[in-house]
Amino acid sequence: MKYSITQNGLPLNKSLYTIDEKTKTFSSKEHSLVLDFSSESNWTFNTGSDCTFTTRHYCTFKTGSSCTFKTGSGCTFDTDFACTFDTGAGCTFTTKSKCVVVRRGIFQVIELKEGIKTTLGGWGTKGYTEEENLKGKTVTIEVGGKKYEAVIK
């Protein structure tokens, strides 16, 4: 396995992070990391804020704010605010407020709405669909004339 882990331009002390090569998981509470796993796929990263990641495909990121990601396809992101993503296809993002999607290849900017799932059009196709995220919300269901309340899981 080949990767680089630095902080402020210097290799990060190994006592400040853990790597489980069996599960392909990197964990650190440190901030301002630069992680280069560009020859690696299928990793999970748990870090602090202000980090930069370079990876291949199918990685999962759980971070603080102000992170930059340059990845291959099929990645999942669960971050705080002010993050930048440059990815391949099939990625999933869980974001906070005030986020936008910039689709450079077709010159489209989409403002994301909190609580709304946005699905982009296919490669090279402008457009998107929006769907309200009902998770955790109470809805009323009518069955056989009787009304029931349910919480969406």
pLDDT, tens digit only, all 153 positions of the chain: 788 999 999 999 999 999 998 999 999 999 888 999 888 888 888 888 888 888 888 888 888 778 788 877 777 787 777 777 777 777 777 777 777 888 878 888 888 887 788 888 887 888 888 888 777 778 788 888 888 888 877
The residue among 140, 65, 69, 50 whose CA lies nearest residue 95 is 65
DSSP 24: T
Tell me the whole-structure pTM to 2 decimals: 0.65
> Which tens digits make up the pLDDT trace of 5-49?
999 999 999 999 999 989 999 999 998 889 998 888 888 888 888
